Amino acid sequence: MDQGVKRLFQMRTEDILAFIFPESTIEFLGMAPTDVATEPQLMLDTLPIVTINGDECIIDVEFEAQPTATIGKRLDDYASRASIVHDKPVISAVFWMTPHGAPPASPYTVRVGKYLISQRYYIGIELYKLPAEQLLELGRQGAVGLLPLVPFTQGGVDEPVLEQTVRAIAELSQPTEVKELESLWAVFATRQVESSYVLNLVRRALMSSEILQQSSLYREWTAVAKSEGREEGIEQGIEQGIEQGIEQGIEQGIEQGIEQGREEGKRAVIVEIVRKRLERQFGALLPDMDEALLRTSSDILENLAIDLAPDVTLGQVRVRLGLSAE
> pLDDT for 136-154, tens place per residue?
999 999 999 999 999 999 9
Pairing of strands 35-38, 41-43: antiparallel
pLDDT at residue 1, as a whole number: 65
pLDDT at residue 271, as a whole number: 80
Instruction: Name the strand (E) or helix (H) holding 41.
Output: strand 41-43
Does 311 or 134 have the greater pLDDT score? 134
pLDDT at residue 169, as a whole number: 92
Question: Are the C-beta atoms of 245 and 222 separated by less than 8 Å?
Answer: yes
Mean of per-residue pLDDT scores for the chain: 78
pLDDT at residue 302, as a whole number: 72
Cβ partners under 8 Å of residue 136, min gap 6? 147, 150, 161, 164, 165, 168
Mean pLDDT of 28-44: 67
Least confident stretch, 14-28, 243-257, 305-319: 243-257
The partner residues of 31 in beta bridges, in order of sequence, read 48
* pLDDT > 70? residue 53: yes
Single-letter amino acid, residue 94:
V
> pLDDT for 73-112, tens place per residue?
999 999 998 898 889 999 999 999 988 888 999 999 999 8
Q: What angle do CA 193, 196, 187 make, to 5 degrees?
A: 55
Alpha-carbon span 249 to 223, nearest angstrom? 8
Q: With bands split at pLDDT 50, 70 and 90, how would you rate the model's confidence at 216?
A: low
| SS3 state at 63 | strand
Alpha-carbon span 309 to 5, nearest angstrom? 17
Alpha-carbon span 281 to 104, nearest angstrom? 41
Does 300 or 30 have the greater pLDDT score? 30
Single-letter amino acid, residue 16:
I
* pLDDT > 70? residue 47: yes
Cis peptide leading into 107, omega within 30 of 0? yes
Q: With bands split at pLDDT 50, 70 and 90, how would you rate the model's confidence at 204?
A: confident
**Which of 122, 132, 9, 147 has the alpha carbon at shortest distance from 68?**
122
Question: Are the C-beta atoms of 161 and 132 separated by less than 8 Å?
Answer: yes
Question: Are the C-beta atoms of 176 and 12 separated by less than 8 Å?
Answer: no
Alpha-carbon span 105 to 10, nearest angstrom? 27
pLDDT at residue 111, as a whole number: 93
Single-letter amino acid, residue 51:
T
| φ, ψ for residue 96, nearest 5 deg | -95, 115
pLDDT at residue 232, as a whole number: 41
CA contacts within 13 A on the Cβ side of 176: 2
Does 274 or 218 have the greater pLDDT score? 274
* pLDDT > 50? residue 224: no
CA distances to 135, 152, 180, 216 from 172, rounded to whole Å, are 14, 20, 13, 20
> pLDDT for 54-73, tens place per residue?
999 999 999 888 888 889 99
Does 68 or 237 have the greater pLDDT score? 68
